[in-house]
Amino acid sequence: MSNPDLNQMNYKSKNMKKHPYKYFVSLALCLLVFATSCNKDFDKVIPESPENNGNVIYKAPKVLYLIVDGARGASVRDAGTTTLRGLIDSAVYTWTGLSDNTNYTDATNWSDMLTGVKKEKHNVLTENFAGNNLASYPVIFERIKSLRPNMRIASFASSDLFKSKLTGGADVTESFAGNDEALTSRLVDFVKSDTASLILGQFGGVEAAGKASGFDNKFAPYKTAINKFDSQVGEIFAAIKSRANYKNENWLIIVTSNKGGQYTLPVSEDDKTIFSNTNVNTFTIIYNNKYNPTFIPRPFLGNPISGNAVRFRGNPEKTVAKLGAGISNEFNFGASDFSVSVKVKKGKTKNTSRGDYYYQWPSILGKRDRAGWGGDNAPGNPGWDICLFQNGWRFFAAGGQDFVNGIEVGGLDFSGDIWHDLTFVIERKADGKRYLRMYTDGVKGVTNDPGDVGQYDGPKGKKDAPVSVDVKLRGEPNFDNNAPLRLGWADGEMDGDFGIINLNMAEFKIWKVALPENVVKQFACDATMEESHPNFNELAGYWPLNEGSGDKFEDKGPFAAPFTINGTYTWETFSDLICTPNNTNLGVLVPKNSDVPTQILSWFNIPRQETWGLDGRVWISN
């Protein structure tokens, strides 16, 4: 069986031999684009340089924008299309674009593609467009008309609903009751001679075939529908090139899908990241005959990690592992620095009404008698916990001067069913105060305002706006106690079914020093602990947690202190990824639906207005 990624590499290698200089320039610019902000830094458009032949001719910019519903990027890539494959030699393109990752409706994704903002702004959440906010975030046609009232715009849609809801501002708007053949015929006739600068076509045949058979090329009707769409694109493209004034026009052709469709991937192809969600897998081709081929691959998804791990569950299983009371006291560090890290893979919470991996406060490990806020019992319950906190995590501590009632500091969100590294560092600095640093996959971040007990300068962290800060702990917190060091279930604070843990853990480490930030960042995503680690000799405890059987977690640290496992538990074999970026971060590394309007504005040299609140970015080839 052919390897699509290998085929893609071979394709690029051949073209690099043809255009080596172009490829190096394209690669350098592509890297620059990736390193740039997805919003603010793309406000300025980049005009095309005219040909330097002594007679400068500025060609009229034109855009053809074709949307095909329900075409999975992976299926389009492998369907043997000829027109689309021919376009990519002069295009920015990807087979791993992303539609909205929580709403799979056509209406939501069409709205992203026509307004340039996401559903949180346009509020199109259902197929009937109920409760939408399109008045505040109108379609791109209206945006263009507000600045270029004389620009001619035309829209041709297979869907009557698309025409009625998303074509405001167009000079020509027609729909074809699901008949892609009639749509194609009309588009071919129209583009041959009409003066419109922006022409849109929306096709529904591929999605209809997917719903009837299945969204994968192994279903013949679906593959046939993809290739039929490909031939329709070929007809329209040929009509454009036949235009009498074509040589004086500069065409940008965008072909993309609004979303994918449901298909269960083979286990070997499912990496459990957003890129294995077939519903959101799109493709995007941005063509211009002067573009160099610029392939946007699937981004880094994490390092491989494999082994065995216990499934820790809350009540009633109460899976817990503890050290003996005597040896646990070796992990009281008094006023000294220390660091703690663990690899975690969240499973789905018992109540998924707030999201599959949303937890409310349960502790997953720590050194305290009980989890949660201490209240009147805090003087007898000092120590620290790592807890799950909504879609992220928190560091919790209680006891000591100014910490009677405890402190919680929120860490960054992280995805479920993928391994992630959680690390916190306690460090006394030159001012005599103790500070907390929190890292998720090596990225420092705080997502709340811990109040007076945890101070830092500048804007306060929020779940949707984390800040990278060191948190100064007020007073002198007491992290010492007689409680056993614990992994897993703990009695104490939880919010009903949202507080019942379901997770795996691995690579639990405690250092008797404050790890430097560069060390945390460098080694957070390593799947093991090697002696080459610069702080290997400062380990106080190291438990790989990977025995695969039995009731012990062995300690490879200096105390050789094993955990004993109690409660109901199972050992599970895994082969996964670690440190996969969250969906928001991944979403700016590949084309997404809301990018297209911004791309079109850039082509027409229309500066995006700050008041429009657009969410998209521009993808360019030079």
Is there a single domain that holds both residue 439 and residue 359? Answer: yes
Q: What's the rounded mean pLDDT across residues 552-558?
A: 97
Is there a single domain that holds both residue 457 and residue 346? Answer: yes
Is there a single domain that holds both residue 558 and residue 440? Answer: yes
Give the pLDDT score at 469.
97
Cβ proximity of 599 and 254 under 8 Å: yes
Q: What's the rounded mean pLDDT across residues 95-104?
A: 94
Compute the distance between CA of residue 70 and CA of residue 180 in angstroms, rounded to an integer: 14
Is 571 domain-assigned?
yes
Query: Which comes out higher in pLDDT, residue 342 or 617?
Result: 342
Cβ proximity of 118 and 100 under 8 Å: yes
Is there a single domain that holds both residue 180 and residue 320? Answer: no
Tens-place pLDDT, residues 32-77: 333 333 333 333 333 343 344 445 567 999 999 999 999 999 999 9
Tens-place pLDDT, residues 211-266: 999 999 999 999 999 999 999 999 999 999 999 999 999 999 999 999 999 999 99
Residue type, 345: K
Share of the chain above pLDDT 70, in %: 88
Compute the distance between CA of residue 114 and CA of residue 141 in angstroms, rounded to an integer: 8
Is there a single domain that holds both residue 231 and residue 332? Answer: no
Q: Is 508 helix (H, G, I), strand (E, B) or coil?
A: strand
Among 45-59, 562-576, 603-617, where is mean pLDDT lowest? 45-59
Give the pLDDT score at 8.
41
Is there a single domain that holds both residue 62 and residue 138? Answer: yes
Q: What's the rounded mean pLDDT across residues 529-539?
A: 94
Tens-place pLDDT, residues 174-211: 999 999 999 999 999 999 999 999 999 999 999 999 99
Tens-place pLDDT, residues 445-489: 999 999 989 999 999 999 989 999 999 999 888 889 999 999 999
Is 286 domain-assigned?
yes
Range of the domain at 140: 4-300+583-612
Is there a single domain that holds both residue 564 and residue 596? Answer: no
Compute the distance between CA of residue 116 and CA of residue 238 in angstroms, rounded to an integer: 29
Is there a single domain that holds both residue 368 and residue 237? Answer: no
Is 620 domain-assigned?
no
Number of domains observed in the structure of the chain: 2
Among 5-14, 348-357, 509-518, where is mean pLDDT lowest? 5-14
Is there a single domain that holds both residue 226 and residue 288? Answer: yes
Compute the distance between CA of residue 6 and CA of residue 9 in angstroms, rounded to an integer: 5
pTM of the model: 0.66
Query: How sure is the predictor about 303, in pLDDT bands with cuts at 50, 70 and 90?
Result: confident
- The whole-chain average pLDDT of the chain stands at 89
Q: What is the 3-state secondary structure (H, E, C) of 31-91?
A: HHHHCCCCCHHHCCCCCCCCCCCCCCCCCEEEEEEEEECCCCHHHHHHCCCCHHHHHHHHE
Is there a single domain that holds both residue 528 and residue 603? Answer: no
Is 442 domain-assigned?
yes
pLDDT score of 80 more than 70: yes
Query: Which comes out higher in pLDDT, residue 471 or 621?
Result: 471
Give the pLDDT score at 305.
92
- For 304, other C-beta atoms within 10 Å of its C-beta total 12
Tens-place pLDDT, residues 353-386: 999 999 999 999 999 988 887 645 455 588 999 9
Is there a single domain that holds both residue 287 and residue 223? Answer: yes
CATH number of the domain enclosing 17: 3.40.720.10
Is there a single domain that holds both residue 192 and residue 285? Answer: yes
pLDDT score of 622 more than 70: no
Question: Which one, of 544, 557, 509, 489, lies nearest residue 321 by Cα?
Answer: 489
Is 621 domain-assigned?
no
CATH number of the domain enclosing 484: 2.60.120.200
Cβ proximity of 468 and 431 under 8 Å: no
Query: How sure is the predictor about 583, in pLDDT bands with cuts at 50, 70 and 90?
Result: low
Is 163 domain-assigned?
yes
Number of H helices, E strands in the chain: 15, 28
Is 622 domain-assigned?
no
Tokens of 26: 């394209």
- For 223, other C-beta atoms within 10 Å of its C-beta total 21
Give the pLDDT score at 384.
95
Give the pLDDT score at 621.
65
Give the pLDDT score at 53.
46
Cβ proximity of 409 and 395 under 8 Å: yes
Among 158-162, 451-455, 553-557, where is mean pLDDT lowest? 451-455
Cβ proximity of 414 and 441 under 8 Å: yes
Cβ proximity of 594 and 618 under 8 Å: no
Compute the distance between CA of residue 98 and CA of residue 418 in angstroms, rounded to an integer: 19
pLDDT score of 3 more than 50: no
- For 551, other C-beta atoms within 10 Å of its C-beta total 13
Query: How sure is the predictor about 151, in pLDDT bands with cuts at 50, 70 and 90?
Result: very high
Is 591 domain-assigned?
yes
For residue 61, whether the previous peptide bond is cis, meaning omega lies within 30 degrees of 0, is no
